[in-house]
Chains A and B, each alone.
Chain A
Amino acid sequence: MKLIEDMKIVKNCEIAKNIYEMTLTGDNVKLMNQPGQFVNIKITEMSQLILRRPISICEIDQEKKQIKLIYRIKGQGTEILAKKLPGEVINIFGPLGNGYPEYSIKNHETALLVGGGIGVAPLYELAKRLSRRKIKVKSVLGFATMTDVFYEKEFSFYGEVHVATIDGSYNFNGNVLDLIKSKNLQFDVIYGCGPQAMLKAINDEYINLKKGYLSLEERMACGIGACYACVCDKANKSTETVRICKEGPVFKLGEVEI
């Protein structure tokens, strides 16, 4: 079975300012069974935009053979993506990478899911799966401003949700770490995805205190570890690197230099 498929667009709509949710269907959905993995998308058959775009999988529905992706309009590629209509097909390579290890948390423990901006997306499937196992899920979603907020209600199906905005226009005023501290949120395992500064802050804060997993982002080309574009340093061993697309994108807290 090829890891590449023309998947059909079921839905593609704006859910917050410049944030889109795309639902796709195809046979390769049956290969997608891990929260936090990503797909590498060919935006157009024309060769102007040659590279694929890595986008993490937000939700997997095996029964309907569907996945959801969430992306932000950031440049030419995602602008074209946003204009695609249901019924059109799009070439999807994946699933790729290593996601969040689901069984990294025991049944009686509490998970804290921390998403920043578009990084909220891959945590959704994780929330679903953890809550299915009756694990207590707390979610902290951080955004720049009110118009960026998405998936607050969706996460609330699986546990308590806290939203922070940097400019204070919606709910808590500050970043996600400020919120966790100010509300004194208790947890056993932390799972994060978001901007580098946020991940670094989480890593620095909890490296010696908690178990946790962070999903990293970097400019990629191949998505399978062949081109060595998306490397980062292993922690404390500056001569060794890991490939974010291949060994990651999810790493243990303290595993890599952020």
Chain B
Amino acid sequence: MNIKVELPGLSLKNPIIPASGCFGFGREFAELFDIEKLGSIMIKATTLNSRKGNPTPRVAETNGGMLNAIGLQNPGVDYIISTELPWLSQFNLPIIANVAGSSVEEYVEVAKHLSTVDNVKAIELNISCPNVKEGGIAFGTDCKVAAHLTEAVKRVSCVPVYVKLSPNVTDIVQIAKAVEEAGADGLTMINTLIGMKIDLATGKKVLANGTGGLSGPAIKPISIRMIHDVYKQVSIPIIGMGGIQNTNDVLEYLYAGAQAVGIGTANFVDPYICPNIIEELPYVLEQHGFKDIKDAIGYTHRVKLD
């Protein structure tokens, strides 16, 4: 069974990629399993300067999901280039570097530097973080703004650029088309949905930030629908994510049109989820009658209606 996937800039031995912010820079999980088994890693969002993030509590559990408001805590691009990426280079692993910022200039600067690092094979443009006051999602909810940023980053990046879309929009297809036209090489979708949890005993919001991004199985149907709709309207590849918990979920994403998938919250539930899915995927594809993963991608769009 072939489960290799070729995407712009990325030769993936399998389509399983830990999603940004859910896997740090791989160090913690490398203590648990051989991370070289992974298709790639989407490393934690990188900004120009180090960011301390939001006050705690930063996470809250909700039915079938969790809210987080970490606030892009990261050590800044220089540290990541001097320390984290060289450490990751000991593994035969293409890295997808998630880039965040609060201005076009910041995104451009960070992307420019990260894209020159050897093991960074693609940039994931984070225009959808809901947990920072400036930037983040503000770049991902307006077609013109998203397109302008994509163009600016494309101009400086030495590697393909995947734009991470926000589901917190009226029509995600319009944003997808706008960034495709602006030169995006691929899409990753979706980021978290903005949510809130209130403590009944105190009446206060549970998260110190007030709102947070909802992830986990609760959001999977939304992501599946969005990928399904976007797949029909764009021709660049999609890496799908949102609530994947097992190998069947991966198959559903492939059917909807994703060529590879990000695993996020599930890493917190079962730290061995990625290697487990990688092991199971060939058998699940075979069970469903496929001989190559390529035949499963977009399958739903080819099934004839009765």
Residues of A at the B interface (CB closer than 8 Å) are 2-4, 42, 47-52, 77, 93, 218-232, 238-239, 241, 246
Contact = CB atoms under 8 A, between A and B. Distances in A.
Contacts of B61: 49-51, 77
B267 A226 contact: yes
3 shortest interchain CB distances as A-B pairs = A229-B59, A226-B24, A222-B268
A47 B50 contact: no
A228 B68 CA distance: 10
A42 B273 CA distance: 14
Contacts of B56: 218-219, 229-232
Given A51-B268, A222-B268, 13 more contacts: A47-B64, A47-B216, A49-B61, A51-B61, A93-B271, A219-B60, A221-B268, A222-B28, A224-B31, A226-B29, A226-B267, A239-B50, A239-B52
Interface in B29-44: 29, 31-32
A199 B63 CA distance: 32
A228 B73 contact: yes
B271 A3 contact: yes
Interface in B1-51: 21-24, 28-29, 31-32, 50
B59 A219 contact: yes
A249 B113 CA distance: 36
B245 A47 contact: yes
Nearest to B207: A219
20 contacts: A2-B272, A3-B32, A47-B216, A47-B217, A48-B63, A50-B269, A77-B61, A218-B56, A219-B58, A219-B60, A221-B265, A224-B28, A226-B29, A226-B268, A227-B59, A227-B70, A228-B70, A231-B58, A239-B52, A241-B52
B65 interface: yes
B270 A51 contact: no
B28 A246 contact: yes
A224 B269 CA distance: 12
B251 interface: no
A237 to B, nearest CB: 11
Contacts of B28: 222, 224-226, 246
Given A224-B271, A239-B50, A241-B52, A229 B68 contact: yes
Contacts of B217: 47, 50
Contacts of A77: 61
B66 interface: yes
Contacts of B245: 47
B57 interface: yes
B53 interface: yes
Contacts of A3: 32, 271
Nearest to A240: B52
Contacts of B60: 219
B64 A227 contact: no
B70 A229 contact: yes
Contacts of A239: 50, 52
B269 A51 contact: yes
